[in-house]
Amino acid sequence: MTLALLDKVTQRFPLQVKRAFIAKDDIVTIETEPHQLIEIAQALYEEPDFDFKMLLDVCGVDLLDYGTSEWRTEETTTTGFSRGVDVAPQMEQIIQNEEPLRFATVYHLLSIKHNHRIRIRVLLKGEQPRVPSVFFIWNSANWYERETFDLFGIIFDGHPDLRRLLTDYGFVGHPFRKDFPLIGDVELRYDALQERCIYEPVSIQPRVTVPKVIRFDNRYLQDGEPNIKKEGT
């Protein structure tokens, strides 16, 4: 069934789809460019062979440093945390592209009639990526696209009301971008004298918390020590 859908997609969109494959989760995944998105989405929605009437999700992806560095942690080594440099075959084009493709939008569609699922991945360029809105094809894209705009800063051209959805009205930046600081840039508090909320530079100090687990069982008993839990442990 999945292979049949893959064949239909590649035959229907020989020029619009840059690459089509079956992902590890057994879902047909197609990659395209922003200017081809609406044509593909309209056909997947309208044509009886596809009939993808349901848009389940729209999400953003930040590909910063993908495949070029290890996970950036304070304890990164040359041997550990290597998943960040394991290059999947389908992502080689992203890494080797002359102009880095920093972001992507991903659309998950469902056809109840055919019991098919498909994923559309649109690769975007630049620090201010833009992609056409699919709101006028699937109305459920309204809040999905607003959420992606809020968290990743991806602009959906043609969206009727592209406003932040999850962060505060005066929030600066996009918190799901990988270069966004973990503690944020500003903090919000209510000022009783001014009788309003004000923003101030963040006062939280960066810190690393190390979990400490105290165990008491027979693996840690000395020879001859009774297996009785001590008070305060």
Residues 93-151 have pLDDT tens digits of 555 555 668 899 999 999 999 999 999 999 998 888 999 999 999 999 999 999 999 99
Contact call for residues 15 and 30 (beta carbons, < 8 A): no
* Sequence-ordered list of residues with C-beta below 8 angstroms from that of 59, at least 6 positions apart, any chain: 105, 106, 144, 148
Residue whose token pair is 């004298």: 193
What is the band of 157 on the pLDDT scale with cuts at 50, 70, 90?
very high
**Does residue 74 have a pLDDT over 50?**
no
Instruction: Report pLDDT for 221.
Output: 63
Q: Residue 203 CA to chain centroid, in angstroms?
A: 28
What is the band of 31 on the pLDDT scale with cuts at 50, 70, 90?
very high
**Does residue 152 have a pLDDT over 80?**
yes
What is the band of 229 on the pLDDT scale with cuts at 50, 70, 90?
low
The whole-angstrom separation of Cα 132 and Cα 154 is 10
Tell me the two tokens of residue 47.
């044509």
- Considering the entire predicted model, what is its pTM? 0.74
User: Which is nearest to 93 in space by CA: 126, 67, 59?
Assistant: 67
Tell me the two tokens of residue 119.
């994923």
Largest CA distance in the chain: 77
Which CATH architecture fits 2-63+101-180?
Answer: 2-Layer Sandwich (3.30)
Contact call for residues 33 and 131 (beta carbons, < 8 A): no
